[in-house]
Structure 1
Amino acid sequence: MARTREFDIDQAVDRAMDLFWRRGYAETSLQDLLKELSIGSGSFYAAFGSKEQLYIRSLERYASLQGGDLEKILEEETEIRTAVRKVVSILVEADLTDPTRGCLVVNAATQCADQPAAADRVSTAIRQVESLLAGALERAQARGELSPGKDPRELARFLTTFIQGIRVAGRARMGREFMEDALSAALRALD
Protein backbone atom coordinates (compact mmCIF):
# COMPACT_ATOMS: atom_id res chain seq x y z
CA MET A 1 0.00 0.00 0.00
CA ALA A 2 1.36 3.44 -0.97
CA ARG A 3 2.00 5.92 1.80
CA THR A 4 -0.08 9.06 1.92
CA ARG A 5 1.74 12.31 1.35
CA GLU A 6 2.28 13.99 4.70
CA PHE A 7 2.96 17.51 3.49
CA ASP A 8 1.16 20.18 1.51
CA ILE A 9 2.64 20.44 -2.00
CA ASP A 10 1.66 24.10 -2.49
CA GLN A 11 3.22 25.11 0.83
CA ALA A 12 6.33 23.13 -0.05
CA VAL A 13 6.62 24.91 -3.41
CA ASP A 14 6.21 28.27 -1.67
CA ARG A 15 8.92 27.41 0.85
CA ALA A 16 11.24 26.16 -1.89
CA MET A 17 10.53 29.30 -3.93
CA ASP A 18 11.56 31.43 -0.97
CA LEU A 19 14.75 29.42 -0.48
CA PHE A 20 15.71 29.60 -4.17
CA TRP A 21 14.91 33.31 -4.12
CA ARG A 22 17.14 33.96 -1.10
CA ARG A 23 20.04 31.69 -2.06
CA GLY A 24 19.87 31.15 -5.81
CA TYR A 25 19.56 27.90 -7.69
CA ALA A 26 23.22 26.85 -7.63
CA GLU A 27 23.67 27.73 -3.96
CA THR A 28 20.63 25.72 -2.90
CA SER A 29 21.52 22.08 -2.41
CA LEU A 30 19.18 19.13 -2.24
CA GLN A 31 20.03 18.88 1.47
CA ASP A 32 19.00 22.54 1.91
CA LEU A 33 15.66 21.78 0.25
CA LEU A 34 15.05 18.64 2.32
CA LYS A 35 15.76 20.58 5.50
CA GLU A 36 13.62 23.58 4.47
CA LEU A 37 10.72 21.36 3.46
CA SER A 38 11.18 18.95 6.40
CA ILE A 39 10.87 15.89 4.15
CA GLY A 40 13.00 12.91 3.21
CA SER A 41 14.61 12.37 -0.16
CA GLY A 42 12.08 9.69 -1.14
CA SER A 43 9.17 12.07 -0.54
CA PHE A 44 11.04 14.81 -2.35
CA TYR A 45 11.65 12.75 -5.48
CA ALA A 46 8.11 11.34 -5.45
CA ALA A 47 6.59 14.81 -5.22
CA PHE A 48 8.96 16.89 -7.35
CA GLY A 49 11.17 14.60 -9.41
CA SER A 50 14.33 16.68 -9.11
CA LYS A 51 15.76 19.93 -7.82
CA GLU A 52 15.45 21.43 -11.30
CA GLN A 53 11.78 20.44 -11.58
CA LEU A 54 11.06 22.00 -8.19
CA TYR A 55 12.89 25.13 -9.30
CA ILE A 56 10.71 25.33 -12.42
CA ARG A 57 7.60 24.94 -10.26
CA SER A 58 8.93 27.68 -7.98
CA LEU A 59 9.44 29.98 -10.97
CA GLU A 60 5.92 29.20 -12.18
CA ARG A 61 4.52 29.99 -8.73
CA TYR A 62 6.45 33.27 -8.54
CA ALA A 63 5.33 34.31 -12.03
CA SER A 64 1.73 33.46 -11.15
CA LEU A 65 1.83 35.58 -7.99
CA GLN A 66 3.59 38.50 -9.67
CA GLY A 67 1.35 38.29 -12.74
CA GLY A 68 -1.74 38.32 -10.54
CA ASP A 69 -0.51 41.40 -8.69
CA LEU A 70 0.32 43.17 -11.95
CA GLU A 71 -3.04 42.29 -13.49
CA LYS A 72 -4.89 43.56 -10.42
CA ILE A 73 -3.12 46.93 -10.48
CA LEU A 74 -3.57 47.35 -14.23
CA GLU A 75 -7.30 46.61 -13.92
CA GLU A 76 -7.91 48.71 -10.79
CA GLU A 77 -6.16 51.89 -11.87
CA THR A 78 -8.18 53.98 -14.28
CA GLU A 79 -5.21 55.87 -15.77
CA ILE A 80 -2.33 54.01 -17.44
CA ARG A 81 0.42 56.33 -16.20
CA THR A 82 -0.80 55.95 -12.63
CA ALA A 83 -0.92 52.17 -13.03
CA VAL A 84 2.60 51.92 -14.49
CA ARG A 85 3.97 54.29 -11.83
CA LYS A 86 2.33 52.21 -9.09
CA VAL A 87 3.67 48.92 -10.46
CA VAL A 88 7.24 50.18 -10.76
CA SER A 89 7.11 52.04 -7.43
CA ILE A 90 6.12 48.82 -5.64
CA LEU A 91 9.08 47.04 -7.23
CA VAL A 92 11.47 49.89 -6.40
CA GLU A 93 10.34 49.87 -2.75
CA ALA A 94 10.85 46.11 -2.56
CA ASP A 95 14.35 46.46 -3.97
CA LEU A 96 15.23 49.35 -1.67
CA THR A 97 13.99 47.36 1.32
CA ASP A 98 15.88 44.19 0.38
CA PRO A 99 18.27 44.68 -2.56
CA THR A 100 19.83 41.24 -2.18
CA ARG A 101 16.57 39.48 -3.01
CA GLY A 102 15.68 41.11 -6.32
CA CYS A 103 13.27 39.47 -8.73
CA LEU A 104 13.26 35.68 -8.94
CA VAL A 105 12.71 35.82 -12.72
CA VAL A 106 15.65 38.19 -13.23
CA ASN A 107 17.75 36.05 -10.89
CA ALA A 108 16.85 32.95 -12.91
CA ALA A 109 17.64 34.74 -16.19
CA THR A 110 21.11 35.64 -14.97
CA GLN A 111 21.89 32.47 -13.00
CA CYS A 112 20.30 29.70 -15.07
CA ALA A 113 20.52 30.77 -18.70
CA ASP A 114 22.23 27.47 -19.52
CA GLN A 115 19.23 25.46 -18.26
CA PRO A 116 16.67 25.22 -21.08
CA ALA A 117 13.67 24.60 -18.81
CA ALA A 118 14.50 27.58 -16.58
CA ALA A 119 15.23 29.82 -19.57
CA ASP A 120 11.91 28.78 -21.10
CA ARG A 121 10.06 29.57 -17.85
CA VAL A 122 11.77 32.99 -17.70
CA SER A 123 10.69 33.74 -21.28
CA THR A 124 7.13 32.72 -20.45
CA ALA A 125 7.07 34.98 -17.38
CA ILE A 126 8.41 37.95 -19.35
CA ARG A 127 5.86 37.36 -22.14
CA GLN A 128 3.12 37.29 -19.48
CA VAL A 129 4.17 40.75 -18.25
CA GLU A 130 4.31 42.00 -21.84
CA SER A 131 0.83 40.65 -22.56
CA LEU A 132 -0.71 42.20 -19.44
CA LEU A 133 0.89 45.55 -20.20
CA ALA A 134 -0.16 45.42 -23.85
CA GLY A 135 -3.76 44.79 -22.84
CA ALA A 136 -3.72 47.71 -20.41
CA LEU A 137 -2.12 49.97 -23.01
CA GLU A 138 -4.71 48.98 -25.62
CA ARG A 139 -7.49 49.84 -23.17
CA ALA A 140 -5.77 53.14 -22.38
CA GLN A 141 -5.51 53.93 -26.09
CA ALA A 142 -9.23 53.17 -26.52
CA ARG A 143 -9.94 55.65 -23.68
CA GLY A 144 -7.83 58.30 -25.45
CA GLU A 145 -4.91 58.24 -22.98
CA LEU A 146 -2.41 57.22 -25.66
CA SER A 147 -2.18 58.81 -29.06
CA PRO A 148 -3.42 56.65 -31.95
CA GLY A 149 0.13 56.70 -33.36
CA LYS A 150 1.50 54.74 -30.39
CA ASP A 151 1.87 50.98 -30.75
CA PRO A 152 0.65 49.33 -27.50
CA ARG A 153 2.63 46.11 -28.15
CA GLU A 154 5.84 48.07 -28.77
CA LEU A 155 5.28 50.15 -25.63
CA ALA A 156 4.54 46.97 -23.66
CA ARG A 157 7.85 45.47 -24.79
CA PHE A 158 9.69 48.63 -23.82
CA LEU A 159 8.03 48.75 -20.38
CA THR A 160 8.63 45.03 -19.82
CA THR A 161 12.31 45.51 -20.59
CA PHE A 162 12.38 48.61 -18.40
CA ILE A 163 10.81 46.72 -15.48
CA GLN A 164 13.38 43.93 -15.76
CA GLY A 165 16.15 46.54 -15.95
CA ILE A 166 14.85 48.42 -12.92
CA ARG A 167 14.99 45.14 -10.97
CA VAL A 168 18.65 44.72 -11.98
CA ALA A 169 19.34 48.33 -10.94
CA GLY A 170 17.70 47.57 -7.61
CA ARG A 171 20.04 44.62 -7.06
CA ALA A 172 22.92 46.93 -7.93
CA ARG A 173 21.68 49.30 -5.19
CA MET A 174 21.40 52.28 -7.50
CA GLY A 175 19.21 54.11 -5.00
CA ARG A 176 15.89 55.90 -4.98
CA GLU A 177 16.90 58.97 -7.02
CA PHE A 178 18.28 56.85 -9.86
CA MET A 179 15.16 54.67 -9.89
CA GLU A 180 12.72 57.57 -9.80
CA ASP A 181 14.56 59.43 -12.57
CA ALA A 182 14.48 56.27 -14.70
CA LEU A 183 10.77 55.84 -14.03
CA SER A 184 10.02 59.43 -15.00
CA ALA A 185 11.88 58.93 -18.29
CA ALA A 186 10.04 55.66 -18.96
CA LEU A 187 6.64 57.29 -18.34
CA ARG A 188 7.46 59.95 -20.95
CA ALA A 189 7.32 57.16 -23.54
CA LEU A 190 3.55 57.18 -22.95
CA ASP A 191 3.22 60.88 -23.90
Structure 2
Amino acid sequence: MGRVKEFDPDVALRAAMDLFWRQGYEATSMQDLVDHLGLGRGSIYATFGGKHDLFLRAFERYVDDARAGLLDQLSAPGSSLDAVKSLVRWYAQTASDDEQRKGCFMTNTAVEVPEDRDAGRLVTSSLEDMETVLTAALMRARSEGELPADRDPVALARFLVTVLQGIRVVGKTSIRRRFLDDTVAQALSVFD
Protein backbone atom coordinates (compact mmCIF):
# COMPACT_ATOMS: atom_id res chain seq x y z
CA MET A 1 0.00 0.00 0.00
CA GLY A 2 1.38 3.44 -1.01
CA ARG A 3 1.99 6.20 1.47
CA VAL A 4 -0.64 8.87 1.87
CA LYS A 5 0.50 12.36 0.87
CA GLU A 6 1.25 14.38 3.95
CA PHE A 7 1.21 17.73 2.17
CA ASP A 8 -1.21 19.83 0.16
CA PRO A 9 -0.14 19.70 -3.51
CA ASP A 10 -1.81 23.07 -4.16
CA VAL A 11 0.20 24.75 -1.39
CA ALA A 12 3.38 23.16 -2.75
CA LEU A 13 2.51 24.28 -6.29
CA ARG A 14 2.00 27.86 -5.13
CA ALA A 15 5.32 27.75 -3.25
CA ALA A 16 7.05 26.48 -6.40
CA MET A 17 5.35 29.24 -8.40
CA ASP A 18 6.73 31.85 -5.99
CA LEU A 19 10.25 30.43 -6.20
CA PHE A 20 10.31 30.17 -10.01
CA TRP A 21 8.79 33.65 -10.24
CA ARG A 22 11.49 35.18 -8.02
CA GLN A 23 14.49 33.24 -9.30
CA GLY A 24 13.55 32.15 -12.80
CA TYR A 25 13.64 28.67 -14.26
CA GLU A 26 17.36 28.35 -14.93
CA ALA A 27 18.48 29.70 -11.53
CA THR A 28 16.17 27.37 -9.60
CA SER A 29 17.73 24.00 -8.86
CA MET A 30 15.95 20.88 -7.75
CA GLN A 31 17.62 21.34 -4.36
CA ASP A 32 16.17 24.88 -4.18
CA LEU A 33 12.72 23.36 -4.75
CA VAL A 34 13.30 20.69 -2.09
CA ASP A 35 14.36 23.36 0.41
CA HIS A 36 11.64 25.89 -0.46
CA LEU A 37 8.78 23.39 -0.60
CA GLY A 38 10.00 21.44 2.41
CA LEU A 39 9.46 18.19 0.51
CA GLY A 40 11.70 15.32 -0.45
CA ARG A 41 12.74 14.87 -4.06
CA GLY A 42 10.68 11.69 -4.28
CA SER A 43 7.52 13.52 -3.23
CA ILE A 44 8.15 16.27 -5.76
CA TYR A 45 8.81 13.82 -8.60
CA ALA A 46 5.85 11.61 -7.67
CA THR A 47 3.43 14.54 -7.46
CA PHE A 48 4.65 16.94 -10.12
CA GLY A 49 7.23 15.16 -12.27
CA GLY A 50 10.62 16.76 -12.86
CA LYS A 51 11.66 20.38 -12.53
CA HIS A 52 10.36 21.30 -15.99
CA ASP A 53 6.97 19.70 -15.36
CA LEU A 54 6.69 21.49 -12.03
CA PHE A 55 7.71 24.77 -13.66
CA LEU A 56 5.02 24.41 -16.33
CA ARG A 57 2.35 23.56 -13.76
CA ALA A 58 3.38 26.50 -11.58
CA PHE A 59 3.41 28.82 -14.59
CA GLU A 60 0.01 27.54 -15.69
CA ARG A 61 -1.33 28.27 -12.19
CA TYR A 62 0.04 31.81 -12.46
CA VAL A 63 -1.60 32.27 -15.88
CA ASP A 64 -4.93 30.99 -14.53
CA ASP A 65 -4.74 33.32 -11.52
CA ALA A 66 -3.76 36.29 -13.69
CA ARG A 67 -6.64 35.59 -16.10
CA ALA A 68 -9.14 35.44 -13.23
CA GLY A 69 -7.78 38.70 -11.74
CA LEU A 70 -7.97 40.45 -15.09
CA LEU A 71 -11.54 39.28 -15.63
CA ASP A 72 -12.51 40.47 -12.14
CA GLN A 73 -11.00 43.91 -12.71
CA LEU A 74 -12.49 44.44 -16.15
CA SER A 75 -15.95 42.98 -15.58
CA ALA A 76 -16.80 44.86 -12.39
CA PRO A 77 -20.01 46.91 -12.46
CA GLY A 78 -19.63 50.48 -13.64
CA SER A 79 -17.80 52.19 -16.44
CA SER A 80 -15.88 49.81 -18.68
CA LEU A 81 -13.48 52.54 -19.75
CA ASP A 82 -12.82 53.50 -16.13
CA ALA A 83 -12.04 49.83 -15.42
CA VAL A 84 -9.49 49.77 -18.26
CA LYS A 85 -7.90 53.00 -17.04
CA SER A 86 -7.78 51.67 -13.49
CA LEU A 87 -6.07 48.52 -14.75
CA VAL A 88 -3.32 50.57 -16.43
CA ARG A 89 -2.80 52.59 -13.24
CA TRP A 90 -2.80 49.41 -11.14
CA TYR A 91 -0.09 47.84 -13.33
CA ALA A 92 2.14 50.89 -12.83
CA GLN A 93 1.39 51.10 -9.11
CA THR A 94 2.21 47.46 -8.46
CA ALA A 95 5.25 47.56 -10.77
CA SER A 96 6.76 50.42 -8.77
CA ASP A 97 6.17 48.67 -5.44
CA ASP A 98 9.46 47.40 -4.03
CA GLU A 99 7.69 44.20 -2.92
CA GLN A 100 6.79 43.45 -6.55
CA ARG A 101 10.28 43.77 -8.04
CA LYS A 102 9.99 40.20 -9.24
CA GLY A 103 7.95 41.52 -12.18
CA CYS A 104 5.43 39.49 -14.13
CA PHE A 105 6.04 35.75 -14.16
CA MET A 106 4.69 35.54 -17.70
CA THR A 107 6.97 38.28 -19.00
CA ASN A 108 9.94 36.87 -17.08
CA THR A 109 9.31 33.47 -18.66
CA ALA A 110 8.98 34.90 -22.17
CA VAL A 111 12.34 36.63 -21.78
CA GLU A 112 14.19 33.86 -19.93
CA VAL A 113 13.19 30.75 -21.86
CA PRO A 114 11.98 31.86 -25.31
CA GLU A 115 13.01 28.52 -26.82
CA ASP A 116 10.81 26.49 -24.45
CA ARG A 117 7.84 25.48 -26.64
CA ASP A 118 5.54 24.51 -23.79
CA ALA A 119 6.17 27.70 -21.85
CA GLY A 120 5.91 29.66 -25.10
CA ARG A 121 2.42 28.28 -25.71
CA LEU A 122 1.37 29.42 -22.23
CA VAL A 123 2.90 32.88 -22.80
CA THR A 124 1.09 33.23 -26.13
CA SER A 125 -2.16 32.04 -24.62
CA SER A 126 -1.84 34.50 -21.74
CA LEU A 127 -1.17 37.44 -24.06
CA GLU A 128 -4.12 36.44 -26.24
CA ASP A 129 -6.33 36.16 -23.16
CA MET A 130 -5.32 39.67 -22.11
CA GLU A 131 -6.11 40.91 -25.61
CA THR A 132 -9.52 39.21 -25.56
CA VAL A 133 -10.53 40.54 -22.14
CA LEU A 134 -9.33 44.07 -22.91
CA THR A 135 -11.04 44.01 -26.32
CA ALA A 136 -14.33 42.99 -24.70
CA ALA A 137 -14.06 45.81 -22.13
CA LEU A 138 -13.23 48.34 -24.84
CA MET A 139 -16.10 47.13 -27.02
CA ARG A 140 -18.45 47.63 -24.05
CA ALA A 141 -16.97 51.10 -23.53
CA ARG A 142 -17.59 51.92 -27.20
CA SER A 143 -21.16 50.61 -27.09
CA GLU A 144 -21.77 52.67 -23.92
CA GLY A 145 -20.53 55.81 -25.68
CA GLU A 146 -17.38 56.12 -23.54
CA LEU A 147 -15.08 55.41 -26.48
CA PRO A 148 -15.54 57.06 -29.88
CA ALA A 149 -17.02 54.80 -32.56
CA ASP A 150 -13.95 55.23 -34.79
CA ARG A 151 -11.61 53.65 -32.21
CA ASP A 152 -10.57 50.06 -32.89
CA PRO A 153 -10.96 48.03 -29.66
CA VAL A 154 -8.71 45.22 -30.94
CA ALA A 155 -5.85 47.58 -31.86
CA LEU A 156 -6.24 49.44 -28.55
CA ALA A 157 -6.22 46.15 -26.64
CA ARG A 158 -3.03 45.02 -28.39
CA PHE A 159 -1.43 48.37 -27.65
CA LEU A 160 -2.39 48.07 -23.97
CA VAL A 161 -1.12 44.49 -23.69
CA THR A 162 2.25 45.66 -25.01
CA VAL A 163 2.33 48.69 -22.71
CA LEU A 164 1.30 46.67 -19.66
CA GLN A 165 4.01 44.08 -20.25
CA GLY A 166 6.53 46.87 -20.80
CA ILE A 167 5.46 48.39 -17.49
CA ARG A 168 6.27 45.08 -15.79
CA VAL A 169 9.75 45.03 -17.35
CA VAL A 170 10.56 48.65 -16.49
CA GLY A 171 9.14 48.06 -13.02
CA LYS A 172 12.07 45.75 -12.29
CA THR A 173 14.61 48.53 -12.87
CA SER A 174 15.92 51.38 -10.73
CA ILE A 175 14.47 53.98 -13.14
CA ARG A 176 10.91 52.74 -12.79
CA ARG A 177 9.57 55.66 -10.78
CA ARG A 178 10.85 58.17 -13.37
CA PHE A 179 9.26 56.32 -16.28
CA LEU A 180 5.97 54.91 -15.06
CA ASP A 181 3.99 58.12 -14.43
CA ASP A 182 4.71 59.37 -17.95
CA THR A 183 3.98 55.94 -19.41
CA VAL A 184 0.58 55.81 -17.73
CA ALA A 185 -0.26 59.35 -18.83
CA GLN A 186 0.64 58.57 -22.44
CA ALA A 187 -1.21 55.24 -22.42
CA LEU A 188 -4.35 56.86 -21.02
CA SER A 189 -4.16 59.71 -23.54
CA VAL A 190 -5.23 57.31 -26.31
CA PHE A 191 -8.73 57.46 -24.78
CA ASP A 192 -9.01 61.27 -25.00
| Cα drift, residue 123 of structure 1 | 1.0
**Number of residue pairs aligned between Structure 1 and Structure 2:** 191
Relative to structure 1, the CA distance from residue 173 to residue 88 in structure 2 (aligned partners, 3 Å threshold; closer, same or farther) is farther
The answer for unaligned runs of 5 or more in structure 2 is: none
Moved more, 97-106 or 39-48: 97-106
Letter in 1 for 2:6: E
Identity of aligned residues (%): 40
Question: 1:92: which partner in 2?
Answer: 92
Moved more, 80-89 or 143-152: 80-89
2:190 pairs with 1:189: yes
Question: 2:124: which partner in 1?
Answer: 123
Provide the alpha-carbon RMSD of the alignment: 1.5
Letter in 1 for 2:163: F
The answer for unaligned runs of 5 or more in structure 1 is: none
Question: 1:157: which partner in 2?
Answer: 158
Question: 1:19: which partner in 2?
Answer: 19
Moved more, 165-174 or 21-30: 165-174
After TM superposition, the structure 1 = structure 2 runs for residues 132-151 of structure 1, keeping only pairs within 5 Å, are 132-151=133-152
| Residues in 2 aligned to 1:76 and 1:177: alpha-carbon distance in whole angstroms | 31
State the secondary structure of the residue aligned to 1:134. helix
TM-score, with structure 2 as normaliser: 0.92
| Residues in 2 aligned to 1:135 and 1:8: alpha-carbon distance in whole angstroms | 36
State the secondary structure of the residue aligned to 1:63. helix
Assess if the C-alpha contact under 8 Å between 1:101 and 1:171 holds in 2: yes
Moved more, 160-169 or 181-190: 181-190
| Residues in 2 aligned to 1:75 and 1:177: alpha-carbon distance in whole angstroms | 31
Runs of 4+ in 1 over 4 A off after TM superposition: none
TM-score, with structure 1 as normaliser: 0.93
State the secondary structure of the residue aligned to 1:92. helix
